[in-house]
Structures are given as C-alpha cells and as structure tokens.
C-alpha cells in the first residue's frame, strides 16, 4: 500500500465510528481452532481481534493504519502492529487461526498457507463482484470472483463452510459476499 492508502485509512478511522459487530462467521467458527495463536489480517480497530482475545486467543492484529493500531494498544492478549502488506511477510507456522475479513490482497494467499499451522483454521470473508452490488469497493481488484476462494484454498485445505451470498445493509444497500472456513491439511 502507498502512503496515500495509509493516510486514507487513518482519516477513515479518525472520522468514522468503527464497526463493533463481530463478523458472524468469526463468532461461529473461531472456537473450532486447534490452539490459541491467532492472526487478524487488516484488523482495523479490532472488532474481531477483541472478540478473539476475550475468547482466550493470543492475537497478532495487523493493519496499515496507525490510528487503528493505537486503538488496540494495551488490550490484553492483543499484540497490535502497523504493517504494510506490500512489504510485510507473515510469520511461518505461527498461527492456529487466521482471520481476514473485508480485506483482499491475493498475494497474501500463499503467505496465509505458510503462516497457518497444520490443522489450523482459516476464516475469510469479503466482497465479491456482482452486477447487483450497490455498495462495495469501487476497484474491481478488491472484489473476488465467483468460486475464486474455493479454487485457491481447496488444494491445501478441507473446506468446512463456503457461502456466497447477497447481503443487504440497513440502508438497503446490496453487496455480494463470500465466506470461507477451511482447515489446513
């Protein structure tokens, strides 16, 4: 990411309330992890990181936004770190659970597999391309295509849940999303 991206995210987190609702798939499946070492990729202000820490996980929470990371300082069981995913490399064989919600950087897919311990759990949810979308990222590169997660992760993972669905927001905005829960073989 560029310094412009960092600045944009810092401004967003300064000027907008952070979502506090835990992503449902994280709430439902996190307890299925085989251990307590977790990674929250692009954690934002930490709604999922905080939940995982309360559930007994030791969480590495990573984000490009200094504002987001500062909001997590001092939270028990969370090690928050500002990183640029264009240059940062995930730790190898370090995690029992990796969570990535509403962030898409395809070049991280191989790193996720290397970072996850054997038998570790991956929970991934983000936006997909659909002609029916009314509210999603404007850059098509930040949208998954139908079947893309399954195609990539089915090689090294046993897929536990895969759901592509249209989600409607409280204001009536529609977004096609995909949710994947998979265990590394």
Mean pLDDT score of the chain, rounded to an integer?
91
Q: What are 43-95's pLDDT values in tens digits?
A: 999 999 999 999 999 999 999 999 999 999 999 999 999 999 999 999 999 99
- CATH number of the domain enclosing 81: 3.40.50.150
d(C-alpha 30, C-alpha 22), whole Å:
11
Beta carbons of 180 and 150 less than 8 angstroms apart: yes
The pLDDT, as a whole number, for residue 13 is 64
DSSP of 117-128, one letter per residue?
A: EEEEEEEEEEEB
Mean pLDDT for 145-169 is: 94
Domain that holds residue 39: 3-184
pLDDT higher than 90, residue 135: no
Supply the pTM of this predicted model.
0.90
**Which residues contact residue 55 at a Cβ distance below 8 angstroms, ignoring those fewer than 6 apart?**
30, 31
Check whether 5 has a pLDDT greater than 80.
Answer: no
In this predicted model, what pLDDT tens digit does every residue of 106-130 receive, in sequence order?
A: 999 999 999 999 999 999 999 999 8
The CB-side HSE value for 63 (13 A sphere, CA atoms) comes to 33
Q: How confident is the model at residue 14 (pLDDT cuts 50, 70, 90)?
A: low
Give the pLDDT score at 141: 86
For the purposes of burial, counting CB atoms within 10 Å of the CB of 139, is it exposed (0-12), middle (13-18) or buried (19 or more)? exposed
**pLDDT at residue 1 greater than cutoff 60:** no
In angstroms, the Cα distances linking 149 to 19, 35, 55, 120 are: 24, 24, 27, 17
Rounded Cα gap, residues 133 and 131, in angstroms: 6
- What backbone torsions phi and psi does residue 156 show, to the nearest 5 degrees? -110, 5
Place of tokens 């029992």: 96
Count how many domains the chain has.
1
Predicted pLDDT of residue 185 = 95
Q: What is the pLDDT of residue 18?
A: 66
For the record, the structure tokens of 179 come out as 């949710």
């Amino acid at each position: 990411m560029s310094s412009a991206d960092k600045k944009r995210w810092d401004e967003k987190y300064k000027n907008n309330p952070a979502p506090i609702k835990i992503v449902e798939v994280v709430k439902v499946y996190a307890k299925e992890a085989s251990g307590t070492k977790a990674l929250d990729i692009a954690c934002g202000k930490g709604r999922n990181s905080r939940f995982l820490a309360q559930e007994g996980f030791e969480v590495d929470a990573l984000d490009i936004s200094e504002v987001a990371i500062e909001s997590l300082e001092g939270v028990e069981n969370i090690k928050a770190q500002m990183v640029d995913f264009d240059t940062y490399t995930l730790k190898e064989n370090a995690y029992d659970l990796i969570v990535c919600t509403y962030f898409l950087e395809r070049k991280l897919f191989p790193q996720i597999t290397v970072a996850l311990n054997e038998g570790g759990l991956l929970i991934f949810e983000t936006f997909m391309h659909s002609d029916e979308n009314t509210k999603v990222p404007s850059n098509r590169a930040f949208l998954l295509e139908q079947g893309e997660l399954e195609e990539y992760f089915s090689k090294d993972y046993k897929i536990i849940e895969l759901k592509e669905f249209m989600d409607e927001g409280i204001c009536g905005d529609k977004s096609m999303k995909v949710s994947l829960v998979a265990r590394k073989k």
